[in-house]
Structure 1
Amino acid sequence: MTKKKSFPLRINEDVFLAMQRWSDDELRSLNAQIEFVLRKALVDSGRVKLTQKVVTELVDDVEKKS
Protein backbone atom coordinates (compact mmCIF):
# COMPACT_ATOMS: atom_id res chain seq x y z
CA MET A 1 0.00 0.00 0.00
CA THR A 2 1.24 3.47 -0.86
CA LYS A 3 1.94 5.83 2.02
CA LYS A 4 0.02 9.11 1.92
CA LYS A 5 1.88 12.38 2.55
CA SER A 6 0.35 15.45 4.17
CA PHE A 7 0.87 18.72 2.35
CA PRO A 8 -0.50 22.16 3.22
CA LEU A 9 -2.11 23.78 0.19
CA ARG A 10 -2.85 27.43 -0.33
CA ILE A 11 -5.47 27.80 -3.04
CA ASN A 12 -7.58 30.57 -4.54
CA GLU A 13 -11.02 30.65 -2.89
CA ASP A 14 -12.89 30.40 -6.21
CA VAL A 15 -10.85 27.35 -7.22
CA PHE A 16 -11.44 25.83 -3.78
CA LEU A 17 -15.20 26.33 -4.02
CA ALA A 18 -15.32 24.94 -7.57
CA MET A 19 -13.32 21.87 -6.49
CA GLN A 20 -15.63 21.43 -3.49
CA ARG A 21 -18.72 21.50 -5.75
CA TRP A 22 -17.08 19.05 -8.17
CA SER A 23 -16.11 16.67 -5.35
CA ASP A 24 -19.67 16.82 -4.00
CA ASP A 25 -21.03 15.98 -7.47
CA GLU A 26 -18.63 13.01 -7.74
CA LEU A 27 -19.35 11.86 -4.15
CA ARG A 28 -15.67 12.20 -3.22
CA SER A 29 -14.00 14.10 -0.43
CA LEU A 30 -12.31 17.32 -1.49
CA ASN A 31 -8.92 15.73 -0.78
CA ALA A 32 -9.74 12.70 -2.95
CA GLN A 33 -10.97 14.96 -5.76
CA ILE A 34 -7.79 17.05 -5.73
CA GLU A 35 -5.69 13.87 -5.78
CA PHE A 36 -7.82 12.48 -8.65
CA VAL A 37 -7.34 15.65 -10.73
CA LEU A 38 -3.60 15.79 -10.02
CA ARG A 39 -3.13 12.11 -10.87
CA LYS A 40 -5.05 12.49 -14.15
CA ALA A 41 -2.91 15.49 -15.11
CA LEU A 42 0.26 13.51 -14.36
CA VAL A 43 -0.89 10.54 -16.46
CA ASP A 44 -2.08 12.78 -19.31
CA SER A 45 1.28 14.60 -19.37
CA GLY A 46 3.21 11.32 -19.40
CA ARG A 47 4.93 11.99 -16.09
CA VAL A 48 3.49 8.87 -14.46
CA LYS A 49 2.13 5.62 -15.85
CA LEU A 50 -1.24 4.25 -14.78
CA THR A 51 -0.57 0.77 -13.38
CA GLN A 52 -4.00 0.20 -11.79
CA LYS A 53 -7.18 2.23 -11.56
CA VAL A 54 -5.81 4.33 -8.70
CA VAL A 55 -2.11 3.58 -8.34
CA THR A 56 0.40 5.45 -10.47
CA GLU A 57 4.05 4.73 -11.12
CA LEU A 58 6.79 7.17 -12.00
CA VAL A 59 7.93 6.97 -15.60
CA ASP A 60 11.69 6.55 -16.11
CA ASP A 61 13.40 9.18 -18.27
CA VAL A 62 14.68 6.38 -20.52
CA GLU A 63 11.15 5.08 -20.99
CA LYS A 64 9.83 8.55 -21.93
CA LYS A 65 12.44 8.86 -24.70
CA SER A 66 11.31 5.59 -26.36
Structure 2
Amino acid sequence: MERKKILLRLDPAVHDALARWASDELRSTNSQIEFLLRRALSEAGRLPEGVGRIRPRGRPRKAPEDGTAQEEEQADGDASEAG
Protein backbone atom coordinates (compact mmCIF):
# COMPACT_ATOMS: atom_id res chain seq x y z
CA MET A 1 0.00 0.00 0.00
CA GLU A 2 1.31 3.42 -0.92
CA ARG A 3 1.87 5.81 1.96
CA LYS A 4 -0.04 9.10 2.01
CA LYS A 5 1.92 12.30 1.61
CA ILE A 6 0.71 15.41 3.41
CA LEU A 7 1.90 18.94 3.94
CA LEU A 8 2.14 19.75 7.65
CA ARG A 9 2.67 23.27 8.90
CA LEU A 10 4.26 23.47 12.34
CA ASP A 11 5.45 26.21 14.60
CA PRO A 12 9.25 26.26 14.21
CA ALA A 13 9.77 25.71 17.95
CA VAL A 14 7.46 22.66 17.87
CA HIS A 15 9.33 21.29 14.85
CA ASP A 16 12.69 21.79 16.58
CA ALA A 17 11.44 20.02 19.71
CA LEU A 18 10.09 17.13 17.61
CA ALA A 19 13.36 16.88 15.69
CA ARG A 20 15.38 16.70 18.93
CA TRP A 21 13.01 14.09 20.37
CA ALA A 22 13.18 12.07 17.15
CA SER A 23 16.96 12.19 17.25
CA ASP A 24 16.96 10.96 20.85
CA GLU A 25 14.72 8.05 19.80
CA LEU A 26 16.80 7.27 16.67
CA ARG A 27 13.90 8.14 14.39
CA SER A 28 13.40 10.64 11.60
CA THR A 29 11.15 13.57 12.40
CA ASN A 30 8.54 12.10 10.06
CA SER A 31 8.67 8.72 11.82
CA GLN A 32 8.40 10.42 15.21
CA ILE A 33 5.26 12.27 14.11
CA GLU A 34 3.74 9.01 12.83
CA PHE A 35 4.70 7.23 16.06
CA LEU A 36 3.02 9.93 18.16
CA LEU A 37 -0.09 9.99 15.98
CA ARG A 38 -0.45 6.20 16.19
CA ARG A 39 -0.02 6.30 19.97
CA ALA A 40 -2.63 9.05 20.30
CA LEU A 41 -5.06 7.13 18.08
CA SER A 42 -4.50 3.95 20.07
CA GLU A 43 -4.99 5.70 23.44
CA ALA A 44 -8.21 7.27 22.14
CA GLY A 45 -9.45 3.89 20.89
CA ARG A 46 -9.43 5.16 17.30
CA LEU A 47 -6.56 3.22 15.74
CA PRO A 48 -8.14 1.20 12.92
CA GLU A 49 -7.75 -2.57 12.97
CA GLY A 50 -5.33 -3.93 10.43
CA VAL A 51 -2.98 -0.95 10.55
CA GLY A 52 0.49 -2.14 9.61
CA ARG A 53 3.33 -2.11 12.10
CA ILE A 54 5.61 0.88 12.23
CA ARG A 55 9.20 0.19 11.26
CA PRO A 56 11.56 -0.38 14.21
CA ARG A 57 13.75 2.51 15.38
CA GLY A 58 17.23 3.09 14.03
CA ARG A 59 18.89 2.12 10.83
CA PRO A 60 18.05 -1.19 9.18
CA ARG A 61 20.55 -3.92 9.91
CA LYS A 62 22.87 -5.00 7.16
CA ALA A 63 21.95 -8.45 5.95
CA PRO A 64 24.73 -11.02 6.31
CA GLU A 65 25.49 -13.12 3.29
CA ASP A 66 23.72 -16.18 4.73
CA GLY A 67 20.38 -14.26 5.06
CA THR A 68 19.92 -14.69 8.83
CA ALA A 69 19.22 -10.97 9.45
CA GLN A 70 15.59 -11.36 8.39
CA GLU A 71 15.07 -14.11 10.99
CA GLU A 72 16.71 -11.94 13.67
CA GLU A 73 14.52 -8.93 12.77
CA GLN A 74 11.40 -11.08 13.06
CA ALA A 75 12.54 -12.32 16.47
CA ASP A 76 13.29 -8.74 17.58
CA GLY A 77 9.89 -7.61 16.36
CA ASP A 78 8.15 -10.39 18.29
CA ALA A 79 10.04 -9.45 21.45
CA SER A 80 9.16 -5.74 21.14
CA GLU A 81 5.46 -6.54 20.68
CA ALA A 82 5.44 -8.60 23.86
CA GLY A 83 6.86 -5.70 25.93
Provide TM-score, normalisation by structure 1. 0.70
Q: Where does structure 1 differ by over 6 angstroms across 4 or more consecutive aligned residues?
A: none
Aligned length: 54
Report the 3-state secondary structure (helix = DSSP H, G, I; strand = E; otherwise coil) of the residue aligned with 1:48.
coil
**How much identity, in percent, do the aligned residues show?**
43
**Residues 14, 50 of structure 1: alpha-carbon distance in 2 compared, 3 angstrom cutoff:** farther
- Could you say which structure has the larger radius of gyration? 2
Name 2:35's counterpart in structure 1.
36
RMSD: 2.0
- Is there any run of 5+ residues in structure 2 with no aligned partner, and where? 55-83
- Is there any run of 5+ residues in structure 1 with no aligned partner, and where? 56-66
Question: Structure 2: which amino acid aligns with 1:44?
Answer: E
Structure having greater relative contact order (Cα 8 Å, sep ≥ 6): 2
Structure with greater proportional strand content:
1
Name 2:10's counterpart in structure 1.
11
